[in-house]
Structure formats: C-alpha cells, structure tokens
Amino acid sequence: MKSDTTVTVDVRAIDIGYFSTKLTLGRKLSADSNSIATAIFPSLAPRIAAGHKRSAALSGKTDGCVVDVGGASYFVGQDVTLHSSGLEPREILADYSRTDKYKALLLGALHYIAEDSNAGHELVIRQLVLGLPMNTFAENRDALRELATGEHLLPDSRQPGAFRRVTVQKTTVIVQPQGALLNNGLQDRSLGDGWAVVVDAGGGTLDWYVAKGRQPNWNRSGAHPKSMLACANAVADRINPVWRDDFTIIERIDKAIRTKAESFQAGARTYEMAPYSKDIEDVLRESTTKLLSTVGSLDSVDRIIFTGGGAIVYYDYFRQQFPEYSAAMVIDTDPVYSNVRGFQLAGEMLLAAVR
C-alpha cells in the first residue's frame, strides 16, 4: 500500500495499565512552555460480535476504533463503554502484555497518536517507549518490544473501510516506575544523587523502584500483584462478588477509595464505605509489607515519591504507619501521567544519544 502523505514523528510513549491506557502526543507549544501532551482512555477492549460491520460499530461517531487481533475484532477508545457488555473482568495476569486485549489497547493508543499527528495513509514513529511492571519486566520485555515494533494497520477515520499504516521503527521497554523517577528527577533538581524510592500504586500492581540518582538498585526494587484494583475487589467481595466483573461499579468503588468518599452508589442503593475500611487496609498492609521486605530500611532514603492512580491512598497509609519518614514523602505532582511522561523523556534522550 503506497502512502500519499507520510508523517514522521520522533518519540511517542504508551503506558497500558489495568484501569487506563495513557499515551503521549509529543510536545505542544503553550505560552512559553513546550510541554508533553498526553491522552487517556479506559483499558477495556470488548469484542465486537462476528458479522458486526465496522460502520455499525462506529455509528454515531463514537470516539475510538475497531481493531483486529488474532482473528477477532475489538472496540477500544474513549467511548468503549458504549460497546461493552457491562461485564469486563480485570484479571491481574503475569502475561498481561501478551494477551489479545493488551495488543488491542496498544493499537488503540497508536490510533490516537496517528489521529493527533494528522497522518495521511501512513505514520512513522522513530522511537516508541513502553513500560512493564517490575515483576513481569524480565520475562515479557523482549516479547513486548517485538509486538510493538514494525507495521500496524489501523482503521482510517477519514475513509470508512480504509486503513492507515503505523510503522514503529524502534521500541524500548522500561519498568513503569522508572518513568516517574525520570519525570520527577528532571523537574525537581533537588533529588540530585540521593536515594529515592518510587512507590507506583497502579491498578493491578504496586511497584517500587529504588535508585541512587538515576542509577537503579534492582535488588531493592520489586512489585506485588495487589494494589488499587485489589482494594476495590475487596469491597465488592463483601457486598456482591459478581461486581468484580462489573467495571462500572468497580470504578465507582475505586473512586470512593481514592477520594475518601463516605459512600458510593450501585443501582438505586447507597453503600457506606466505613464498614469496609479494614478490608481496604488489609490490602494496603499486605502490599506494603512486600515492599518493605525488598526495600529494607528506609533510614537512608532521601525521597519517597508516590505516583500512580492510587498515589494519595498509599501516601496517606505510609504517613499513618511510618510518621518518622513523613518528611521524605511526597506525592507526584502528576501521578496519573508521570510514568508515561517519563517514558517520553527517556525516548527523547535515547534518540538524542543516537543522533
């Protein structure tokens, strides 16, 4: 397929989590700054029934696209809830990045990158940066790099039935909290060469990344497959275990936990959060215990940075449990996008080094 208008961009980054998929759209001039633009959409990828035409799936100009993975069609994007059955299990899998759902979300992110770039029939990305949790990085890094690198055919929103080619020339995969450390380190020069621990409270995993300056200490870094999703599931299990597969209710519970709301609604009922505080705390205690067993003493740590969607939850828990270290604790200024912004910065440095 010959491209009539090919657009080439230098660096883009994608961070695919269990709750949401974040991506960068390059740098945008705003006033006197040249900041990294970002976008986000839910990490849901419902299958489109066999024989369901793309035109029907996209009727009403819903925000998103239909992508093909493994012989099946999936809808991904901002308006994914309009195509969902309502029951979308979010299982914490060690091989999450190898699943068809993950690839569908990756293609969805590339779709938004191509749309933003105003690419014609072809977009070329010189350097793409992706992230993986600490506990699945070693075994899945190479497979993810291979999955993302090369050519991808995506629906062309300008012409129904037409396709746009997205070519990724090089892919780099780093551990997710490394992005947050890089993003914070470049913004906060006071970090210097001191010891820092990034506590990344994501949906599926709690990751912790220990570094001296920019040099990681892998022996003290790690992850545990219980974080914010496990907190929400713990509440759901006490009320109605079927809710585990209902992403709408799980997101309401998650929001109530993160915002310290007194209650949440499901159906016509209001549920108070207070009776389930111990269930939430049990999850926080378990994952924190795993973190401390790897990190060891916090006495030598100069900065503890809390990032990810659940940053405030773990920040509050740590301050309550370890008040002696509260002076070293900070919440990321942009916890939701910090990792993916750091991925973008890593890609820019890699490309600059090559040049």
pLDDT band at 343 (very low <50, low <70, confident <90, very high): very high
Specify the pLDDT at position 186: 56
User: Bridge partners of 175?
Assistant: 132
Res 299 pLDDT > 90: yes
Q: Please, are residues 109 and 131 in contact by the beta-carbon 8 Å criterion?
A: no
- What per-residue confidence (pLDDT) applies to 326? 96
Look at residue 191 in the predicted model and tell me its pLDDT: 62
pLDDT at 56: 43
> pLDDT (tens digit, 9 = 90+) per residue, 211-220?
998 789 999 9
pTM of the shown model: 0.90
130-145: per-residue pLDDT in tens? Answer: 999 999 999 999 999 9
pLDDT band at 314 (very low <50, low <70, confident <90, very high): very high
Look at residue 155 and tell me whether its pLDDT is greater than 90: no
Strands 150-155, 163-175: pairing is antiparallel
With a CB cutoff of 8 Å and minimum separation 6, the contacts of 68 are 74
Q: Give residue 1's pLDDT.
A: 41
Confidence bin at 190 (pLDDT 50/70/90) = low
Q: Is 278 a residue whose pLDDT tops 90?
A: yes
Record the tokens describing residue 34, joined without a space.
């040249």
pLDDT band at 3 (very low <50, low <70, confident <90, very high): very low
In the predicted structure, residue 106 carries a pLDDT above the cut 90: yes
Question: What pLDDT digit, counting tens, does each position of 7-62 carry?
Answer: 999 999 999 999 999 999 999 877 667 899 999 999 999 998 765 544 444 445 67
- Whether residue 252 contacts residue 266, with contact meaning beta carbons closer than 8 Å, is answered with yes
- How far does Cα 135 stand from its chain's mean position? 15
Mean pLDDT over all residues of the chain? 90
Q: Give the largest Cα separation in the chain, rounded.
A: 63
Range 143-162 burial, b when 16+ CB lie within 10 A, else e: ebbebbbeebebbbeeeeee
